[in-house]
Amino acid sequence: MSDPVRVMLEHGRKRTVAVAWEWPGWERAGRGTEPENALERLELYRPRYARIAWAAGPAIGAAFDATGALVVEDHQPSSGTTDYFGVSGRSATAEHGPVADDVLERRLALVRAAWAHFDHLALTVSPELRQGRRPSERNRDKVVRHTLYSELDFSRRVGVREEFATLLEADGRTRYRDAFVDAIRACNAAGGTTRTWTLQFVIRRTIFHTLDHAWELEDKDLTGEA
């Protein structure tokens, strides 16, 4: 029998976000506040997230494929980001404190798989992207720079401070990411809390933000179009 996917709903005044916190990065906002819309949107992204799970390792991919239905087990109020960005800004109740070593290593493998997917797309999609709802947005390089720059804020939550220029070089990015992963392990061993966010939320936000923009690059890629 498949294990259900435990979901947190974060409720704003205009939107609801559905978060599968045990599979960090798998979260989506629905249109409007109806929970069913957020859950439907989350389910729609199951196949896309499955590719990341398999990239993280065969055992992780198989475990994800074996998951069952979405089951809402937590509700949180909006932090403000829900309405403005359609992004979760709250930890689930279960995201407080450290996690077991095997759980942590699975989540770190997902972090690295998300990074690898994003880096591949950053090198392969078209320089100019299909325009979305905001006509001023964006070319590929702007998406890449925004994604990397934002990550510096996430890594600072676990004590990693790096210059943005370092992330623009392949070797520097590798060193930075290794330091980020090591700091996550150290933080988990020390109790799993940071000054402002829970450690599990730091991991989840890092994966989500990386994948959200990776999927943006995929969806707006103009390669092969006349």
Rounded distance between C-alpha atoms, residue 156 and residue 159, angstroms: 5
**Residue 192 clears pLDDT 90, i.e. is over it:** no
Does the domain made of 96-220 have the CATH classification 1.20.120?
A: yes
Whole-structure pTM value: 0.95
Name the pLDDT band for 181 (thresholds 50, 70, 90).
very high
Name the pLDDT band for 137 (thresholds 50, 70, 90).
low
- What is the per-residue pLDDT for 1? 63
- What is the per-residue pLDDT for 223? 92
* Domain ranges within the chain, ordered by starting residue: 5-94, 96-220
Segment (H or E) for 11: strand 5-11
Per the structure block, which two tokens stand in for 5? 């996917």
- Average pLDDT over the chain, rounded to an integer: 93
Q: Please work out, in degrees rounded to the nearest 5, the angle formed at the alpha carbon of residue 112 by the alpha carbons of 107 and 115.
A: 125
- What is the per-residue pLDDT for 136? 44
Taking Cα atoms as reference points, which of 168, 65, 155 lies closest to residue 111? 155
Contact, 208 vs 24, CB < 8 A? yes
Which of 68-82, 113-127, 172-186, 199-213 shows the lowest mean pLDDT across its residues? 68-82
Please indicate whether residue 82 or residue 25 has the higher confidence score (pLDDT).
Answer: 25
- In sequence order, the 6+-apart residues with CB closer than 8 A to the CB of 155 are 161, 162, 176, 179, 180, 183, 206
- In sequence order, the 6+-apart residues with CB closer than 8 A to the CB of 202 are 154, 157, 158, 184, 194
Distance of CA 78 to the CA centre of its chain: 18
- What is the per-residue pLDDT for 114? 98
Per the structure block, which two tokens stand in for 212? 């959200």
Q: Could you give the 3-state DSSP secondary structure of residue 195?
A: coil
